[in-house]
Amino acid sequence: MVDLGFRYPLLLTGCNQAVSAIAGGIALGLGFVPKHNAPRLRMFITHLLPVAACSASNLYFGNVAYLSLSLAFIQILKVLTPAVTMALCVVLGLERLSLPLAGSVALITGGTGLATMLESSTSHFSWPGFLAFSLSVLLESVRVVNFQLLLGDLRLSQAELLVYLGAPTAVMLLLASGLMEQEGLMHPSSGFSLLQGHWGMFAASMILGACVNASTALAIRNTSSLTFKVFGCIKNVFVVLYGVLSGDALSSLQFAGYSLSVVGFVWYVQSKSAAQTRSSHFKKAQ
């Protein structure tokens, strides 16, 4: 979207969340997924709205970063998310801190730190973009951890999460877009004129956004918020490769830093598998 000159992340992400909420509502209405009792007003205000606010802020700051940082560097920074998510999970009692867990996440964070340090010395590094994406990483960790809590405590289905979180998130983003992006959106050479000229691309983006939101909830329900973010690292390998093939610069030292993060990812998978095996043997012994 940036290549087209469409630089209005609030509107774009707000529309994506609105489509997610509509898709969830259709799935519930047609009976594709079981429907539970709607959360009470107090639960909505104290649990769902804060998560929606984190989601809206995360989507905004993440898209802001894409305007000033390279695609490859952003994907490298994303590897920091498991470290922040692990800290939150340990504090909330969702994960038990162990040497393999801490060591593997430390490798992931260390490799990312190396790549970040190298990138910060280049001419195309942007501190505002870096700080925006760092804040996005923190908000993303808060979001996925609360996803796990909501899926467990409220026993909501994926479709219900799309509705109860997607709708308020969309409202927040679209209201912010009306306040902050209105002037640019009304410009004759950008904004709504680009939407009309490339409506197919924008529609595809919204549909894909809904699919990502649904798959996120499904993955967290069947694994955990930390495992979900760690497994995202393997996806980043291919995204970084795509960015390099598209013209993004990536030095050998930056590649080494990212490789170190991938080693941490492999260690994490192995330690998690070993922990699950020990837990299974313990339950059988009982």
pLDDT tens digits, residue range 164-219?
A: 888 999 999 899 888 887 776 776 666 677 777 667 778 887 888 888 887 877 77
In angstroms, the CA 176 to CA 111 distance is 36
Name the residue among 98, 101, 100 with its Cα closest to residue 82. 101
Place of tokens 């308020």: 168
Residue 171's pLDDT is 92
Residues 6+ apart with CB under 8 A from 138: 84
Is residue 170 within 8 Å of 21, Cβ to Cβ?
Answer: yes
Alpha carbons 249 and 73: distance in angstroms, whole number: 9
Using one digit for the tens of pLDDT, what is the confidence trace for 13-64?
A: 888 889 989 998 998 888 877 777 677 788 788 878 888 888 888 877 887 7
In DSSP notation, 204-252 reads: HHHHHHHHHHHHHHHHHHHS-HHHHHHHHHHHHHHHHHHHHHTT----H
pTM of the model: 0.70
